[in-house]
């Protein structure tokens, strides 16, 4: 068998190197592709490395079985799908090879020279380098069009971030394919222009340098620095703990010294790192459960050092222009497991952020204050964090909601950006249609951001929030051009409501859980049109049950009910673009949603189980009273009734339960 994506087949994948990261890369591939029976070949030149890599893979898969991540038969298939070998000829028919050997140019060049003579002409060669530019690694390749870097992050099988770094010689086809391949396998690929260290590692290694300097300068101990870093930056583990876990001291030492000449003179290996490598000892770090104490003065000094360095390093990368701002934001959060920097600067205040960077630069020679941050502070404007990406294809604008860490959940910023894009598209005569989709394969939009809902304190604030969402959806609904919702995954709550405002919906076939309005389980009602548009599209009898129970339906059921217009296999966006153009050309005619009052008819009895009777009574009013009104007035009624939910006890019980249990246990509503 094979895996096919955008007309290209992957029959076999090779991984070069069975050391620190190669087996983890192989694990990610087999986890994603063993169902397609795409074999993964792990090649090394040392028998001991082969044995250790195989053992590492088996232990991780067996641990996954113990933790319930894999079923025994799945684990067996994953293991059998990976072959560890010393035989280079097993790579002959690989369509994709990821090299994960030692970070040495001469070794990498020798590997790829051999691979070029072994593999098919159209094979994609990717180096899992953490620093080296693709132009350097692939300098001697005859065909550079399929060569690029693919930088994984620790641990490679679980960390969802991956940097894709093409050279100027890499074909766009190869880049697009690899980006889409990794996205289809659950990764968060970001495209980065070639520069030593790429986008994320200068931040990671720069923060380690900032941590090391705090210790070297006698400000705090390594334990204190690690503890404070976790509190201030939201890190899962501190910089010194990360070095111990990854064995990263040597590569960080080399990286810092080369960043010194290629990025900023401030970068250089500190004395305590050089000494630590010579001694071979691990860093002294907090142990599990250990309480680390420090004075307020130490906390203030270390935290200001970290924030100054972090904001300076991030804006240096932005200033270089090598990466899209939204991708850098996502990269820091996902790859480094820390607070996203642009959001953190906005919360800190842009002028205060600049002051922290300037203070850090004053204390540390050759640390550069980026011009892009100075200009932002002069304007005194917050960073705009782009969550909605626009791409135009064949007179169709594709809008992609990209917040994969929260399954593309909607907040006020996302809605405002959608509103802005739609307004621009409305006035562009060259754009004939729109496709709205979500990033990744799990979710179109998982709903409204719960933290945003939980922060609402009054019924008036709730009503205004609903109106903010509704205004954008009304604009989509009345655009005058076809708007197709490409349902790449589940659409819950606000995601379902966004799709309902579109002219039509296209979904992947075989999605078991596609649509749901789960608001009653949270102690609220839909607030962005769910009570008004859903009954008008699928009929009141079906909507009555679906809305009041909050239970989901599959893509097949959605198609049967008329909620989905078209089910597709493969590339959902391309299929939606074609569908949109067929509508423009009048090859397909759509049935408009009724805009006036509608007849309800006979409604079934519904068992709401342990859901809130109080919220259910408000929900019934929204559905029934809204049906007697024109759609626009029904939406206003829904917003008003959503506001009434805030004044109930069950609203707070439901949202608190979600925040604490993620609905793993039902809320204990009191029906008040």
Tokens found for residue 270 = 């500190």
pLDDT band at residue 73 using 50, 70 and 90 as cut-offs: very high
In angstroms, what CA-CA distances link 187 with 150, 303, 437?
12, 31, 17
Residue 84 has pLDDT above 90, yes or no: yes
Residue 119 has pLDDT above 70, yes or no: yes
Q: For residue 271, count other CB atoms closer than 10 A to its CB.
A: 11
Residue 344 has pLDDT above 90, yes or no: yes
> What are the residues facing 14 on neighbouring strands?
41, 97
Q: What is the pLDDT of residues 380-439, one digit of tens each?
A: 999 999 999 999 999 999 999 999 989 999 999 999 999 999 999 999 999 999 999 999
pLDDT band at residue 1 using 50, 70 and 90 as cut-offs: low
3-state secondary structure 136-164: HHCCCCCCCCCEEEEEECCCCCCCCEEEE
- DSSP-based three-state secondary structure for 247: coil
Yes or no: say if 397 and 486 are a contact pair by the CB < 8 Å rule: no
pTM of the model: 0.90
Predicted local confidence at residue 570, as pLDDT: 80
Average pLDDT over residues 584-593: 92
Predicted local confidence at residue 663, as pLDDT: 82
Residue 486 has pLDDT above 70, yes or no: yes
Domains of the chain: which residue ranges? 3-191, 201-379, 388-661
Which DSSP symbol is given to 323? Answer: B
Q: Which of the residues are catalytic?
A: 497, 519
Instruction: State the Cα–Cα distance between residues 276 and 284, nearest whole angstrom.
Output: 11
Predicted local confidence at residue 451, as pLDDT: 87
Predicted local confidence at residue 378, as pLDDT: 97
Yes or no: say if 27 and 61 are a contact pair by the CB < 8 Å rule: yes
Alpha-carbon torsion, ordered 486, 487, 492, 494, to 10 deg: -10
Instruction: State the Cα–Cα distance between residues 442 and 546, nearest whole angstrom.
Output: 21
Which DSSP symbol is given to 192? Answer: B
> What are the residues facing 397 on neighbouring strands?
392, 434
- Percent of the chain whose pLDDT exceeds 70: 99
Yes or no: say if 418 and 425 are a contact pair by the CB < 8 Å rule: no
Counting Cα atoms < 13 Å in the Cβ hemisphere of 130 gives: 26
Which DSSP symbol is given to 87? Answer: -
Strands in 402-502 per DSSP E: 433-438, 443-445, 483-487, 490-492
Chain-centre distance for alpha carbon 243? 25
Give me the architecture of the 388-661 domain, per CATH.
Alpha-Beta Complex (3.90)
Yes or no: say if 428 and 390 are a contact pair by the CB < 8 Å rule: no
Quick one: which of 266, 196, 272 has its CA closest to 239?
272
Strands 443-445 and 8-10: unpaired
Residue 493 has pLDDT above 90, yes or no: yes
Instruction: State the Cα–Cα distance between residues 156 and 349, nearest whole angstrom.
Output: 34
Residue 530 has pLDDT above 90, yes or no: yes
- DSSP-based three-state secondary structure for 256: helix
Predicted local confidence at residue 2, as pLDDT: 66
Q: Topology of 3-191 in CATH?
A: Rossmann fold (3.40.50)
Classify 201-379 by CATH class: mainly alpha
In angstroms, what CA-CA distances link 657 with 205, 326, 366, 518, 523?
39, 31, 50, 14, 10
Residue 305 has pLDDT above 90, yes or no: yes
Quick one: which of 200, 201, 226, 199 has its CA closest to 211?
226
Residue 506 has pLDDT above 70, yes or no: yes
Quick one: which of 525, 557, 480, 558 has its CA closest to 626?
525
Identical fold between 3-191 and 388-661: no
């Amino acid at each position: 068998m094979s895996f096919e994506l955008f007309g290209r087949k992957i029959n076999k994948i090779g991984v070069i190197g069975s050391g620190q990261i190669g087996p983890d890369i192989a694990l990610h591939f087999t986890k994603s592709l063993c169902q397609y029976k795409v074999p993964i070949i792990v090649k090394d030149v040392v028998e001991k490395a082969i044995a250790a890599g195989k053992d590492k893979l088996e232990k991780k898969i067996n641990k996954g079985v113990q933790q319930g991540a894999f079923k025994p038969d799945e684990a067996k298939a994953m293991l059998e799908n990976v072959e560890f070998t010393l035989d280079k000829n097993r790579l002959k028919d690989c369509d994709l090879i990821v090299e994960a050997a030692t970070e040495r140019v001469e070794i990498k060049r020798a590997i790829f020279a051999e691979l070029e003579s072994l593999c098919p002409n159209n094979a994609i060669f990717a180096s899992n380098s953490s620093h080296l530019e693709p132009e350097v690694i692939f300098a001697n390749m005859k065909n550079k069009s399929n060569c690029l870097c693919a930088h994984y992050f620790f641990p490679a099988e679980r960390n969802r971030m991956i940097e894709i770094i093409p050279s100027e010689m890499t074909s766009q086809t190869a880049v697009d394919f690899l980006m889409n391949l990794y996205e289809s396998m659950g990764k968060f690929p970001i495209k980065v222009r070639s520069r030593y260290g790429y986008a994320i590692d200068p931040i990671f290694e720069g923060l380690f340098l900032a941590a090391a300097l705090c210790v070297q300068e006698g400000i705090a101990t390594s334990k204190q620095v690690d503890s404070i870093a976790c509190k201030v930056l939201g890190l899962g583990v501190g910089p010194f703990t990360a070095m111990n876990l990854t064995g990263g001291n040597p590569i960080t030492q080399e990286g810092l010294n080369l960043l010194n000449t290629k990025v900023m003179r401030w970068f250089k290996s500190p004395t305590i790192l050089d000494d630590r490598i010579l001694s071979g000892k691990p860093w002294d770090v907090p142990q599990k459960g250990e309480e680390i104490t420090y004075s307020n003065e130490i906390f203030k000094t270390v935290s200001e050092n970290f924030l100054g360095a972090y904001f300076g390093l991030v804006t240096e990368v932005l200033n270089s222009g090598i990466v899209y701002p939204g991708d850098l934001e996502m990269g820091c959060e996902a790859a480094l497991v820390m607070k996203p920097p642009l959001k953190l600067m906005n919360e800190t205040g842009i002028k205060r952020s600049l002051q922290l960077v300037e203070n850090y630069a004053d204390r540390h020679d050759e640390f550069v204050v980026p011009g892009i941050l100075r200009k932002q502070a002069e304007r005194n404007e917050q960073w705009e964090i782009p969550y909605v990406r626009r791409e135009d294809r064949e007179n169709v604008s594709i809008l992609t909601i990209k917040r994969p860490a929260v399954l593309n959940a909607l907040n006020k910023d996302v809605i405002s950006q959608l509103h802005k894009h739609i307004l621009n598209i409305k006035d562009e005569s060259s754009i004939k249609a729109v496709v709205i989709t979500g990033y990744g394969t799990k979710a179109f939009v998982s709903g409204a951001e719960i933290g945003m809902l939980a922060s609402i304190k009054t019924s008036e604030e709730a009503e205004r929030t609903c109106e903010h969402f509704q205004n954008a959806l009304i604009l989509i609904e009345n655009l005058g051009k076809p708007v197709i919702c490409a349902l790449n995954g589940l659409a819950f709550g606000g995601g379902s409501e966004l799709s309902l405002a579109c002219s039509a919906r296209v979904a992947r076939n075989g999605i078991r859980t596609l649509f749901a309005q789960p608001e009653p389980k949270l102690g609220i009602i839909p607030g962005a049109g769910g009570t008004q548009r859903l009954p008008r599209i699928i009929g009141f009898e079906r909507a009555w049950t679906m809305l009041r129970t909050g239970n989901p339906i599959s893509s097949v059921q959605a198609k049967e009910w008329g909620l989905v217009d078209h089910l597709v296999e493969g590339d959902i966006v391309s299929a939606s673009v074609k569908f949109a153009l067929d509508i423009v050309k009048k090859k397909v005619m759509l049935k408009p949603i009724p805009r006036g009052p509608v007849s309800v008819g006979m409604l079934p009895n519904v068992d709401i189980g342990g859901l809130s009777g109080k919220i259910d009574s408000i929900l019934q009013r929204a559905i029934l009273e809204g049906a007697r009104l024109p759609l626009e007035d029904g939406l206003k009624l829904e917003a008003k009734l959503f506001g009434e939910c805030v004044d109930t006890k069950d609203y707070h019980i439901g949202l608190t339960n979600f925040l604490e249990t993620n609905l793993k246990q039902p809320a204990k509503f009191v029906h008040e």
